[in-house]
A and B are shown apart, each in its own frame.
Chain A
Amino acid sequence: MNARIFAAAVLVSLVATAGAQDKVLRVVPHSNLSILDPIWTTQFMARNHGYMIYDTLFGTDEKNQVKPQMVDSWTVSPDKRLWSFTLRPGLEFHDGKPVTGEDVTASIERWGKRDAMGQKLMTFVERMDSPAPNTFRIFLREPCGIMLEALGKPSSNVPFIMPKRIAETPADKQIEEHIGSGPYVFKRDEFKPGDKAVYLKNNKYQPRKETPSGTTGGKHVYVDRVEWNLALRDAQAQVNALANGEVDILERPAFESYEQLKKANGVVLVNKDPLGFQYMGRFNHLHPPFNNPKVRQAALAAMQQEPFLRAQVGVKEFYKSCASMYTCGTPYGTSKGSDVQSKSSMKKAQELLKASGYDGTPVVILKPTDLAAIQKLPDVAAQLLRQAGFKVDLQAMDWNTVVSRRAKKEAPAQGGWNIFLTAWLAPDVWSPLTNAALGAAGEKSWFGWPSDEQIEKLRDQFARESDEAKRKALAEQIQVRAFEIGTHAPLGEYVNPYAVRKNISGLVVGSGDTYWNVKKN
């Protein structure tokens, strides 16, 4: 009898173990996770890690609507200078302590020192306080129109809420503890950089009742454990592992892999982020020849989007031209002012270059050889610019050298550059304030350092304006001016669908990589 009971117990435990194993979601993220502080760095992997373990005051849904997340309700004073927020009941950090208004204000303060939009918001903020444990208030010097947009910002840096004692870490130092109130708990003891990161279901998390969308709605967790496979970086090995059922999700398969993935048994493609990404070419405004706006205009005219998209993405259904500097299909997306690029031709580019007084100064283009997602763009840029009449010096290097080199303000001959190309997630470019390439405050702005008082003035007005119609008009004016002075060249949009096993469902539609609501059958 005892033997039978023992055997039954063993069987039950085996079944239970098997059941538990089935609830492990095995994800291959798009990159390695090295930095665990999503406020200290703008790296997307740190942001994704943040979404696993932290919660946000507001979120942005798939239709770009900002909606409350940790916040239950809020009011704005008639003079629009006092914002009062009440937190949802039942919010609790992973260490068991309740989330309070003081945690929130400390978190906003730290974020406001690092994030560009946060810094802008803080220029309006006079002070913050927490009159009761579940409330906080933000007092403004003058009204501003970006409060909710900033607090619901979906991409780096996201204003994640941390316990006060952690949020009080100086903004220029990385946090040491990783405790949030989000849907997953970080298993610090199992974190092995370059190997794996592990997250356990936060059983105490109370999801909102609304349908999940983007970073809003109920963050329901249907798996016990999420494992990020940080070691699996080789594109072909990723495909093999998914086809063999050794992993469940590939975040960013290489475009070349899609044909193979479509044919693989048990694998489906899921486009969870229809807004996708935008390619961008950035000019260095500090040095010849692109310190001359007429030369930038000629380059813009030459850099038609289709050749870039065709060469880099290749799969027609995954890309589209978009004349807007903001993401197409989002509230500020517009083609105003884009004619210089979108309705141009190579002949026009050649004429513009001739009229610009270009003296044959070589254009140094930085080409990353190890980043499959963008490595063909520089070749296309080089070819198009050559056709337009530019002399081009295409310099090959690894992506991290590009990242280092583009921060150099020296002349190209002294280790600087003239053009680099990159890609942005839709939320990073969909508004005049999140789009780093639209900053035109000279050497204080993003790499390339354009300087234009008019754009800066318009961006400031945009930040102050709360009327949506007027904001749209301002966004349009900013874009018109940006095309005029050639801040940068938008090079089209693309999507990069997930490849997942067929037993995976529930991926939330929206920008970014989030793993709540995901079911594994």
Chain B
Amino acid sequence: MLVFLLLRLTPGDPAAILAGDAASSEQIAAIRASLGLDRSLPVQFGIWLGSLARGELGQSYFYKMQVTQLIGQRLEPTFALATLTIFFAIVVSIPLGVVAAWRFGGWFDRALMGFSVMGFSVPVFVLAYLLIWLVSLQLGWFPVQGYRRLADGFFPFLHHLILPALTLSVIYIALIARVTRASVLEALGEDYIRTARAKGLPEIRVLVRHALANAAVPIATVIGIGIAILIGGVVVTESVYAIPGLGRLTVDAVLARDFPTIQGVILFFSFIYVVVNLVIDLSYVLLDPRIRY
């Protein structure tokens, strides 16, 4: 409801955008009427709720397609980008965080903290351009833009996705590495770690089996919270790398004042955010046997 109201209160008339540059005021008014934008806000909201109750998100003003269909078309690139980003982030950040905690105060720890600050501070688009310049234009390893669907083959799919996922994963790596370091550091000060070491367990086992396992809940939590950052990052990354995903759809819809699409995408993102965090909450049971629901 908030989104619905905000959109209607924001300046910008979809009918004027649809009509084009040379359209007359009468043509714009006719389009406004055909879209139902001349009706009162409660009526418009009621119509939208009605379609929502039928499982529909309405029809895009611009593309004359159901919003569900539009989201369906754009889901694969975004899902693939997000998945690979999280994969990179987890694979890289957790070991880095554990090692930094293990070597607390040493050069590696300081370097990682420096990287984390940089990872948070450098805007995604700046990083994207730097990587494109270096990895694509200078080294020629990856294409500078575009997306290939999985159906076009796994190699082209991966080839087009690695660079955007790397770009987007930096901020995520910074976030998770920091939290991993802090959590593992805290765990390393616990009595059971001293006991484990006293038992003569190898250090790697102490770190992974005892310290990391006990630090898993905060790490899982931050992965869930980071989904919001990921969604924001996807919007920028998809724009720079010309990936036709949900982020790009959101930008286009906002710029074009395509109200049904904006509402649909925000609802969808909210749903995903809730589901991911629910899964994370449920995973606590597996990560920490003391937790029961």
Contacts and interface: CB of A to CB of B under 8 A. Distances in A.
Interface of A: 32, 34-35, 41-44, 46, 114, 116, 156, 172-174, 192-196, 229-234, 236-237, 240-241, 243-244, 246, 370, 397-401, 403-407, 409, 415, 422, 424, 428, 436, 443-447
A444 B24 contact: yes
B220 interface: no
A404 B11 contact: yes
Interface in B29-73: 30-31, 34, 60, 62-65, 70, 73
B145 A43 contact: no
A240 B137 contact: yes
B145 A232 contact: yes
Contacts of A41: 18-20, 23
Interface stretch (B167-175, B197-205, B234-242): B234-242
Contacts of B19: 41-42
Given A42-B23, A404-B16, A192 B145 contact: no
Contact of B26 (A195, A243, A444): A444
B129 interface: yes
Interface stretch (B223-231, B247-255, B266-274): B247-255
B256 interface: yes
B65 A403 contact: no
A446 B27 CA distance: 11
Contact of B243 (A34, A35, A193, A231): A231
Contacts of B132: 237, 240
A415 B12 CA distance: 11
B218 interface: no
B63 A34 contact: yes
Contacts of B20: 41-44, 46, 156
B136 interface: yes
B7 interface: no
Contact of A398 (B70, B137, B147, B255): B255
Closest 7 CB pairs of A and B: A42-B20, A195-B244, A404-B13, A232-B242, A34-B62, A43-B20, A240-B144
A407 B16 contact: yes
17 contacts: A43-B20, A192-B73, A193-B63, A194-B244, A196-B244, A229-B146, A230-B244, A231-B146, A231-B242, A237-B241, A240-B136, A240-B137, A404-B11, A404-B13, A407-B13, A407-B25, A446-B24
Given A35-B62, A447-B25, A194 B248 contact: yes
Contacts of A236: 129
Contacts of B65: 193
A246 B18 contact: no
B254 to A, nearest CB: 9
B62 A400 contact: no
A446 B17 contact: no
B145 A397 contact: no
Contacts of B140: 244
A317 to B, nearest CB: 27
B21 interface: yes
B31 to A, nearest CB: 8
Contact of A244 (B13, B23, B27, B137): B137
Nearest to A237: B145
Nearest to B238: A231
Contacts of B95: none
A331 to B, nearest CB: 21
Interface string B141-175: 00111110000000000000000000000000000
A107 B194 CA distance: 85
A246 B146 CA distance: 9
Contacts of A404: 11-13, 16-17, 257
B264 to A, nearest CB: 14
A240 B131 CA distance: 12
A193 B248 CA distance: 11
Given A237-B145, A241-B242, A407-B13, A32 B252 contact: yes
B34 A172 contact: yes
B17 A233 contact: no
Contacts of A194: 74, 244, 248-249, 252
Given A34-B256, A246-B145, A246-B146, A43 B21 contact: yes
Nearest to B143: A246
A413 B252 CA distance: 29
A451 to B, nearest CB: 14
Interface centre among B28, B244, B257 (most CB of A within 10 A): B244
Given A400-B256, A409-B25, A246 B144 contact: yes
B70 to A, nearest CB: 7
Contacts of A400: 12, 16-17, 255-257
B22 interface: yes
Interface centre among A241, A399, A422, A445 (most CB of B within 10 A): A241
Interface centre among A156, A231, A243, A246 (most CB of B within 10 A): A231
A468 B137 CA distance: 55
B137 A243 contact: yes
Given A32-B252, A194-B249, A403-B17, A244 B143 contact: yes
Given A231-B244, A246-B144, 13 more contacts: A42-B19, A42-B20, A156-B22, A193-B63, A193-B70, A231-B147, A231-B242, A240-B132, A240-B137, A246-B143, A246-B145, A400-B255, A407-B28
A415 to B, nearest CB: 8
A42 B21 contact: yes
A231 B256 contact: no
A397 B162 CA distance: 35
Contacts of B129: 236
A143 B260 CA distance: 48
Contacts of A232: 145-146, 242
A233 B244 CA distance: 11
A365 to B, nearest CB: 15
Nearest to B125: A234
Nearest to A399: B255
Interface centre among B22, B145, B241, B244 (most CB of A within 10 A): B22
